[in-house]
């Protein structure tokens, strides 16, 4: 059963058939053993290195799974600081703020309400993936026998960190005048976080001049008005309609655990997260000239072009928070953005935060006399396909054919790299074969290839989409 719920970057499955309280106890035990041992192996001797932060989202199964997880941790000998119901980004903050061995968030992020899971972070809130600890946690969880083990009696402490967390998040917010903002919490953790950080429930009081128009803030019934996944365009319609109706300056839609968000401009149009990455890069490079900026390799070419134009250092990274956080740490980048809506900040422990991303976008709007649509217009200069999934059994065969047809020595004579999947770049090729590039990645869990295609113009985009699609299999509509 454990093998079915341990994924590449987290633990996730349907409740209670795949993930239940017994498994949560085992995972708590295994995670405690790994996190405390990992901190000790790093030379950490502080008593705090036995402390593990635990938080949970709003799902109806989260309280009981959290309770079982905590019991597993304390039975192994770890101590728990329980911060209660919160957004995932608070866990990253808490691990660093309290100087703990690690943290675990009970959440299934954007999945339907019958799912749940665990996101695990180690010392300094570094991500724990299959290769960086999840495999060891799974091993330790599978080995423990609850009937014969002797509980070690770790302690549990409840802590309210909203005041400290609010001050941290709002340190990124620099606004003046009035801004009207639509926020769709997707019946997820933004419904708790937004009022406590930005609204009247905040220990700092409501943000002056910030008018928040809330959508779907109710998050105690275990139901979603729409899927809590802002990457799906259909889930953005409520934000888009409300921005137009209320003549708002901007809109944001959060996912279930509120660690990522999508933006809508004042005209009701969805703004691509790679375009936002370039916009935020300018903001940070104005403050720190020459800084490095990390970006997801699926991003528009405009990101790297604009970073270079502004005197910054573009750092191209693999897809996924494990790799993006690693790219920030290795390069010392001040900021990083991912196509999935995760935005990472050096001054947030290299971790991602939907709340901080919103703060920076609001700060940009407050500093400018232009609307968001006008600010992004020069960035959104190329035609993009968005991510398209194709069902195919022979994924490797299809990728090999793409390299042969469009790579070096072909009529297109494009460049090929395999940092993450296969990227074929014919953007600077002259004539009919040029003016486009594409990244094609394999799904880790399904017989799918994921295509992101960009071209100089719509005509070239349509031509290459028609040429590539038959070679990648059957197109899957969401």
Whether 179 is covered by a domain: the verdict is yes
Q: Has residue 71 got a pLDDT over 90? A: yes
Domain match, 150 and 39 both: yes
Domain match, 297 and 168 both: no
Position 335 scores a pLDDT of 98
Domain match, 257 and 279 both: no
Position 2 scores a pLDDT of 86
d(C-alpha 107, C-alpha 105), whole Å: 6
Position 49 scores a pLDDT of 85
Whether 104 is covered by a domain: the verdict is yes
For residue range 158-174, list pLDDT tens digits in order. 999 999 999 999 999 99
For residue range 408-421, list pLDDT tens digits in order. 999 999 999 999 99
Query: H/E/C letters for each residue in 411-465?
Result: CCCCEEECCCCEEEECCCCCHHHCCEEEEEEECCCCCEEEEEEEECCHHHHHHHH
Work out the mean pLDDT of the chain and round it to a whole number. 96
Q: Has residue 337 got a pLDDT over 90? A: yes
For range 310-322, the mean pLDDT: 94
Q: Cα-flanking dihedrals φ and ψ of residue 250, to 5°?
A: -165, 160
Domain match, 391 and 467 both: yes
Q: Has residue 88 got a pLDDT over 70? A: yes
Spatial neighbors of 431 by CB under 8 A, at least 6 apart, are none
Domain match, 200 and 103 both: no
Spatial neighbors of 200 by CB under 8 A, at least 6 apart, are 206
pLDDT band at residue 9 under the 50/70/90 scheme: confident
Counting Cβ atoms within 10 Å, is residue 195 exposed (0-12), middle (13-18) or buried (19+)?
middle
Query: Which residues are bridge partners to 438 per DSSP?
Result: 424, 453
Instruction: Please say if 363 is a catalytic residue.
Output: no
pLDDT band at residue 176 under the 50/70/90 scheme: confident
Domain match, 89 and 111 both: yes
Q: Cα-flanking dihedrals φ and ψ of residue 475, to 5°?
A: -65, 130
For range 214-227, the mean pLDDT: 95
Domain match, 150 and 211 both: no
Whether 460 is covered by a domain: the verdict is yes
Q: Which of 130, 160, 190 lies at the terminal end of a domain, its last residue?
A: 160
Q: Has residue 444 got a pLDDT over 80? A: no
For range 277-293, the mean pLDDT: 98
326-329 contacts, C-beta under 8 A, 24 or more apart: 327/294, 328/294, 329/126
pLDDT band at residue 445 under the 50/70/90 scheme: low
Whether 362 is covered by a domain: the verdict is no
Domain match, 12 and 123 both: yes
% residues pLDDT > 90 (the chain): 92
Domain match, 129 and 28 both: yes
CB 68 within 8 A of CB 25: yes
| CATH number of the domain within which 455 lies | 3.30.310.50
Q: Which of 160, 188, 221 lies at the terminal end of a domain, its last residue?
A: 160
Instruction: Report the number of distinct structural domains present in the chain.
Output: 4
d(C-alpha 91, C-alpha 422), whole Å: 34
Whether 218 is covered by a domain: the verdict is yes
Domain match, 168 and 230 both: yes
For residue range 182-201, list pLDDT tens digits in order. 999 999 999 999 999 999 99
| CATH number of the domain within which 16 lies | 3.40.120.10
Q: Has residue 321 got a pLDDT over 90? A: no
Position 478 scores a pLDDT of 61
Q: Has residue 443 got a pLDDT over 90? A: no
Q: Cα-flanking dihedrals φ and ψ of residue 414, to 5°?
A: -80, 170
Whether 289 is covered by a domain: the verdict is yes
Q: Cα-flanking dihedrals φ and ψ of residue 345, to 5°?
A: -135, 125
For residue range 32-43, list pLDDT tens digits in order. 999 999 998 888
% residues pLDDT > 70 (the chain): 99
Whether 252 is covered by a domain: the verdict is yes
pLDDT band at residue 178 under the 50/70/90 scheme: very high
Position 173 scores a pLDDT of 98
Q: Has residue 115 got a pLDDT over 80? A: yes
Whether 266 is covered by a domain: the verdict is no
Domain match, 123 and 32 both: yes
Domain range for 178 is 164-261
For range 393-420, the mean pLDDT: 95
Q: Has residue 44 got a pLDDT over 90? A: no
Domain match, 154 and 180 both: no
Q: What is the pTM of this model?
A: 0.96
Question: What is the separation, in whole angstroms, between the first and last Cα of the chain?
Answer: 28
CB 380 within 8 A of CB 272: yes
pLDDT band at residue 150 under the 50/70/90 scheme: very high
Whether residue 16 is preceded by a cis peptide bond, meaning omega within 30 degrees of 0, is yes
Q: Has residue 6 got a pLDDT over 70? A: yes
Q: Which of 203, 232, 261 lies at the terminal end of a domain, its last residue?
A: 261
Catalytic choice (32, 66, 89, 109) = 109
């Amino acid at each position: 059963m454990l093998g079915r719920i341990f994924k590449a970057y987290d633990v996730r499955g349907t409740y209670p058939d795949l993930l239940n309280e017994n498994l949560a106890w085992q995972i708590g035990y295994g995670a405690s053993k790994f996190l405390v041992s990992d901190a000790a192996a790093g030379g950490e001797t502080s008593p705090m290195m036995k402390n593990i932060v635990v938080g949970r989202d709003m799902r109806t199964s989260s309280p009981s799974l959290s309770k079982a997880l905590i019991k597993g941790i304390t039975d192994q000998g770890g101590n728990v600081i329980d911060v209660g119901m919160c957004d995932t980004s608070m866990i990253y903050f808490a691990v660093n703020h309290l100087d703990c061995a690690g943290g675990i968030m009970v959440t299934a992020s954007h999945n339907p309400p019958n799912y749940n899971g665990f996101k695990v972070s180690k010392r300094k809130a570094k991500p724990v993936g299959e290769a960086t600890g999840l495999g060891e946690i799974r091993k330790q969880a599978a080995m423990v026998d609850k009937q014969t083990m002797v509980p070690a009696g770790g302690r549990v402490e409840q802590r309210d960190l909203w005041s400290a967390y609010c001050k941290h998040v709002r340190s990124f917010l620099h606004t003046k005048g009035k801004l009207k903002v639509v926020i769709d919490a997707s019946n997820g953790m933004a419904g708790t976080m937004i009022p406590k950080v930005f609204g009247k429930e905040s220990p700092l009081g409501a943000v002056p001049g910030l008018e928040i128009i809330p959508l779907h803030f109710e998050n105690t019934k275990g139901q979603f008005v729409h899927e809590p996944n802002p990457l799906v365009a259909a889930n953005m319609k409520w934000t888009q309609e409300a921005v137009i109706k209320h003549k708002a300056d901007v809109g944001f839609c959060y996912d279930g655990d509120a660690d990522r968000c999508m933006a809508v401009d004042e005209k009701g149009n969805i703004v691509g997260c790679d375009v936002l990455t370039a916009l935020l890069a300018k903001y940070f490079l104005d403050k720190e000239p020459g800084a490095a900026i990390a970006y997801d390799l699926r991003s528009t070419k405009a990101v790297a072009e604009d970073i270079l134009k502004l005197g910054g250092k573009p750092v191209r990274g693999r897809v996924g928070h494990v790799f993006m956080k690693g790219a920030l740490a290795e390069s010392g980048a001040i900021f990083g953005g991912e196509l999935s809506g995760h935005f990472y900040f050096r001054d947030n422990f290299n971790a991602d935060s939907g709340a901080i991303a919103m703060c920076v976008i609001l700060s940009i709007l407050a500093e400018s006399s232009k609307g968001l649509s006008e600010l992004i217009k020069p960035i959104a200069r190329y035609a993009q396909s968005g991510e398209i999934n194709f069902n195919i059994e022979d994924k490797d065969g299809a990728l090999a054919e793409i390299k042969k047809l469009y790579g070096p020595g072909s009529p297109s004579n494009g460049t090929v790299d395999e940092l993450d999947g296969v990227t074929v770049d014919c953007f600077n090729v002259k004539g009919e074969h040029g003016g486009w590039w594409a990244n094609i990645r394999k799904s880790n869990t399904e017989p799918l290839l994921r295509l992101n295609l960009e071209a100089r113009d719509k005509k070239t985009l349509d031509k290459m989409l028609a040429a590539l699609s038959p070679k990648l299999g059957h197109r899957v509509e969401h």
